[in-house]
A and B are shown apart, each in its own frame.
Chain A
Amino acid sequence: MSGKFCVSLTHAKDDTDKATVAFVVANAALGSDQETVVFLSTEGVRLAVKGYADDIHEDGFAPLGELMKNFGESGGTIYVCSPCFKKRDLDENALITGAKIVGGAKVVEFLVGGAPSLSY
């Protein structure tokens, strides 16, 4: 086992179900002692902006803001795709705690050692 886990998320308010489940699974990986990265790209990058996820709450799950907060506070890492972020004119100074703007190389570096990955 590599001890790493990656969740790739490409949705935000355009599909709140996928956005929520991605973080539920990410927390499951983190809770199982896997070094876990959530990689946000395309629409998913919007979640990295402070306040954006505050009104997302899917039935049967904790609010997304809470899931993301728990993920960060428990040691999870959020990578935010740089070109996707810039394309949407989002504010780099308004990133949530624990999110990092990264390029492809950083994601590849994490995955190339053999990390399993799920995509939403």
Chain B
Amino acid sequence: MNEDEAALHARVWEYVRRHDCYLKGWDWANRREGSEKSDGSDCRNVVRDSPGPNRQEAPPATEDQTTSEGRTKGDGRTTKPTQGSEAEVDAEADAQWDAGDMACGDLVLELRRRIQAVKPGERLRLTARDPAAPEDIPAWCGLTRHLLIEADHPSYLIQRKEN
């Protein structure tokens, strides 16, 4: 593209601020980076889709293992998007966990550990493919008093309770 970086940044910001969905992601990134820009701009690095002639390729995204069927299998690691990766930024969550096919006691025991790892009031995006999850996750939230913000199987957004 060979565009001046400041001009590119200004152009990107101008586009982002007119689209609510992108603005949410931008605000989240600013909070993460500790930006104090009150008008919402900044967000320190503008990531290009393809490298210029003098740039190296961005490192591959950190991903969970994939089964031969092409499904993602949780391996217990928390996935976080890396700069330049194709992983989506979840503007609604402070942490993400793909539980894959974990179920029943294994699932909720590890879920309890994961929710305790975020701060009170913060949100965890859970992906749980267990067919019982649509029943179990709301039941678990009821028992533990963590808030179920969203439930759209296999995706669940859970907010850690304040106390």
Interface residues of A, Cβ cutoff 8 Å to B: 1, 23-34, 62, 67, 70, 74
Point out the residues of chain B lying under 8 angstroms from A27, CB to CB.
104-106, 108-109
B112 CB–A CB distance under 8 Å: yes
Contact across chains for A32 and B104 when beta carbons are under 8 A apart = no
Contact across chains for B106 and A32 when beta carbons are under 8 A apart = no
The B contact surface, by secondary structure, is helix
- Give complex CA distance A28, B108 in Å: 6
Contact across chains for A28 and B144 when beta carbons are under 8 A apart = no
Number of interface residues of B (CB under 8 A): 14
Contact across chains for B144 and A33 when beta carbons are under 8 A apart = yes
Annotate B108-149 by CB proximity to A: 1 below 8 A, 0 otherwise: 111111000000000000000000000000011001100000
| Cross-chain contact of A26 among B105, B107, B110, B140 (Cβ < 8 A) | B105
Point out the residues of chain B lying under 8 angstroms from A26, CB to CB.
105
Contact across chains for B104 and A30 when beta carbons are under 8 A apart = no
Contact across chains for A25 and B105 when beta carbons are under 8 A apart = yes
Q: How many whole Å from B134's CB to the nearest CB in chain A? A: 16
- Give complex CA distance A74, B105 in Å: 12
Point out the residues of chain A lying under 8 angstroms from B113, CB to CB.
74
- Give complex CA distance A3, B111 in Å: 18
Q: Which residue of A lies closest to B142 (CB)?
A: A32
Most buried by A among B105, B113, B143, B144: B105
- Give complex CA distance A29, B112 in Å: 11
Point out the residues of chain B lying under 8 angstroms from A25, CB to CB.
104-105
Contact across chains for B109 and A28 when beta carbons are under 8 A apart = yes
Known: A32-B140, A32-B144. A23 touches B109 (CB 8 A): no
Q: Rank and list the top 6 A-B pairs by shortest CB-CB distance, nearest first.
A: A27-B105, A31-B108, A31-B109, A28-B105, A24-B105, A32-B143
B73-118 CB contacts (< 8 Å) to partner A:
104-113
Most buried by B among A23, A32, A67: A32
- Give complex CA distance A67, B105 in Å: 9
- A sample of 16 cross-chain residue pairs with beta-carbon separation below 8 angstroms, ordered by A number, consists of A24-B105, A24-B106, A25-B104, A27-B108, A28-B104, A28-B105, A28-B108, A31-B110, A31-B112, A31-B140, A33-B112, A33-B143, A34-B143, A70-B106, A74-B109, A74-B113
